[in-house]
Amino acid sequence: MNDMKLGITLIAAAVALAGCGEQKPAAKAEAKPAAAAPSVLEVKIGHVGPLTGGIAHLGKDNENGARLAVEEANAARTRIDGKEVKFTFLAEDDQADPKTGTTVAQKLVDAKVAGVVGHLNSGTSIPASPIYAQAGIPVISGSATNPKLTEQGFKSQFRVVGRDDQQGPAIASYLATTKKPKLVAVIDDATAYGEGIANEVEKTLKAANIKVLPREKGTDKTTDWKAVLTKLRGRRPDAVFYGGMDATGGPLLKQGRELGIKAVFSFGDGACTDEMTKLAGPAAEGLLCSQAGIPPQAADKRFLEAYKKRFNVDPILYAPFTYDAAKLLIAAMQKANSADPKRYLPELQKIDFTGATGKIAFDGKGDRKDAEMTIFTMQGGKLGPIAIVKGGKTMTYEEFIKGMK
């Protein structure tokens, strides 16, 4: 997954460079009035995400979310400590590369930012987090889901999106409550991600008194699942869970149906993509899968309209989360009446905030309390959300949308 799309990188780099070129004059123009008014407090907020490479579009989406929040705060003439605040937005590109991630983190620290929104990937967020922690700068990721990020014990590290190890329990509890299987087969691809999510699913299912077959394994390159599936067919499971990516999950599903396995197939976010229709063909219909967070179209209406108006596109994936992350930083500064990281960090830790993605509060580790997970199903070749799992409770997508309004 990580080494895909090298070929596109160059093109994307060119596009992103062009994009950067456009932004600079705008930033300068904004900076002028700030210098003119002496009683204005200048606060820098950083954002990091890949703006070049295969997922540059997601990086830009994240950046837009945070940028919108900062611009709104400027337009609202936010005041801290009696002074009007001029927020400056510093957007950096980490190329989804861990090494670049640490370099730009240091760059933001040197620029004396008051807070950071990012990074997009877990792989860049984790190595960057000690740099922010050392400088005492609060950093909130809107999209990094690897549990390790907040397990390192850094007080300044937060995230507003769910963790991978909440995703397993979510899809498992959805399976358990709606499909009521008696026997479930769990397969993984022997990677850290696949095994991790499969372990969580197995744990949750067993806790719900559902029998789980001994774990079956493939690799992240397996294309021939027939031997494993044939063995499983003999045991007649009611549901199958696969922890792995779409490139292996698609063939798994296709071959399972070819062998006449009638069970419900379910997957984690690695195989929660529209690619599944292409890879598995008609067999993909009815699959279940989970993703951390909520689909952008389920976010707060006001946010969606403002985003569309400002950027002329709809948010793609995590923009509502980075929007909330930037809002949280600003809200904590207002509460502490200071933009000094040392002073507003305690406020951020105990914040109680309602943003575009719903209510946000942090636990001791900096993870969002009761983070939402979305369950998707494949219908007519398209993935659509059917349910939201929050704090172990499942509600249908329609109920959730109603609750957001």
Partner 1 sequence: MDTFLQQLVNGLTAGSVYAVVALGYTMVYGIIQLINFAHGEVVMIGAMVAFTVINALAPGGLPPLAVVLVGTACAIPVCMLVGYSMERLAYRPLRGAPRLAPLITAIGVSILLQHLAMLVWSRNVLAFPQIIQNTTYTLAGASITSVQIAIIAVCIALMGGLALLVYRTQLGTAMRATAQNPHVAGLMGVDVNRVIAATFVIGAALGAVAGVLYGTYYGVAQYTMGSILGLKAFSAAVLGGIGNIPGAMLGGVLLGLVEALGAGYIGDLSDLCAYGWIADLMGEQCDGGHFILFGSNYQDVFAFLVLIVVLVFRPSGLLGERVGDRA
Residues within the interface to partner 1 (CB under 8 A): 3-8, 189-190, 214-219, 221-224, 226-228, 230-231, 233-234, 247, 250-251, 254-255, 258-260, 275, 278-282
Cβ closest to partner 1, residue 70 vs residue 378: 378
Q: Please, what sign has the CA dihedral across residues 358, 290, 52, 136?
A: positive
Cβ closest to partner 1, residue 169 vs residue 218: 218
Residue 8: CB minimum distance to partner 1, A: 8
Residue 107 CB coordination number (10 Å): 15
Cβ closest to partner 1, residue 163 vs residue 254: 254
Q: What angle do CA 35, 39, 44 make, to 5 degrees?
A: 60
Instruction: Phi first, then psi: give them for residue 80, nearest 5 degrees.
Output: -130, 130
Residue 351: CB minimum distance to partner 1, A: 41
Residue 309 CB coordination number (10 Å): 9
Minimal CA–CA distance to 327: which of 111, 68, 84?
68
Residue 213: CB minimum distance to partner 1, A: 9
Residue 205: CB minimum distance to partner 1, A: 14
295 residue type, one letter:
P
Residue 127 CB coordination number (10 Å): 15
Residue 12: CB minimum distance to partner 1, A: 13
Residue 239: CB minimum distance to partner 1, A: 19
Cβ closest to partner 1, residue 225 vs residue 400: 225
Cβ closest to partner 1, residue 77 vs residue 221: 221
Cβ closest to partner 1, residue 23 vs residue 223: 223
Cβ closest to partner 1, residue 162 vs residue 251: 251
Q: Could you tell me where the beta strands, DSSP code E, fall in 199-263? A: 211-212, 216-217, 239-243
Collapse the DSSP code of 163 into the 3-class scheme (helix H, G, I; strand E, B; otherwise coil) and give the result.
Answer: coil
Residue count of the chain, please give it: 405
Tokens of 153: 């014990």
Q: Is 82 left (phi over 0), alpha (psi -120 to 50) or beta?
A: left
Residue 281: CB minimum distance to partner 1, A: 3
